[in-house]
Structure 1
């Protein structure tokens, strides 16, 4: 299974998503590692096993096994962080923002080489998970590191499209008459 097979399964009600899913698997602004890492991380974040498997299969042709695993580690770490920091942000009580999170976040650390790619993947997953505090923090690191607005926009477009594809696949499975 690959991205094209997923596109074929999308119902007519998701024609725009079908077209967008074909377009986001290439980018003139992102490196191949950034592009495919973002696809892998967001596919895991949207919790659609079929979509994640298809993207993983295709990403294996573009990413090393270490990068594939790293993108997944970033996605799972952000799943935790996004819940915690969204709570802190939404509650709006200063005492919670002053407390240490005490959550292990090793997937976001590591060597300086690749740091901006990890930040880009974390931003995309944070956009999927709706954590404004994390989106702002990761965008600031990316901008300070010289990542362009076009690169950031491409990562978020990928996140939006992967999220919409998961919604379409899930709704199609729940209600086959949507085809």
Structure 2
């Protein structure tokens, strides 16, 4: 019996209700699965781009990283790796917390700084965040199968076993 790991992952993503923070799809991930996860989890953090910028662009002066999922760690790396940075647009980068030392450092060092929650009226592109989590076609009634699961069904209980017989119809070909 083969497991459909992609299908299992999609189900877990849906169960997380946008609260997924970390997932490993190293051995079965596809571009479609990665897009599925990203579309449904606005809180996933990603510093890859920030770390690449910090490492490879030491002479950078202007950076607009609008709507990126970087965290304080990524922003710290950019500030450390790009000492000539004069302009930084962090609008819609909601994983960045500008309170404390990091925010103070940005204010003192960056001449033109746009904070994560600054208005986007002057942004030349559509800055509205779209909910692409599901469509009416997926669930015409407005409810997914997740909505019908009861809190009383011990769904979250860990049994310690690997019996997937209750879920065969979902995950096995």
Greater share of helix residues, 1 or 2? 1
Greater share of strand residues, 1 or 2? 2
Q: Which of these two proteins has the greater Rg computed from alpha carbons? A: 2
Shared fold, TM over 0.5: no
Class of the TM-score when normalised by the shorter of the 2 chains: under 0.3
Using structure 1 for the length normalisation, give the TM-score.
0.26
Using structure 2 for the length normalisation, give the TM-score.
0.27
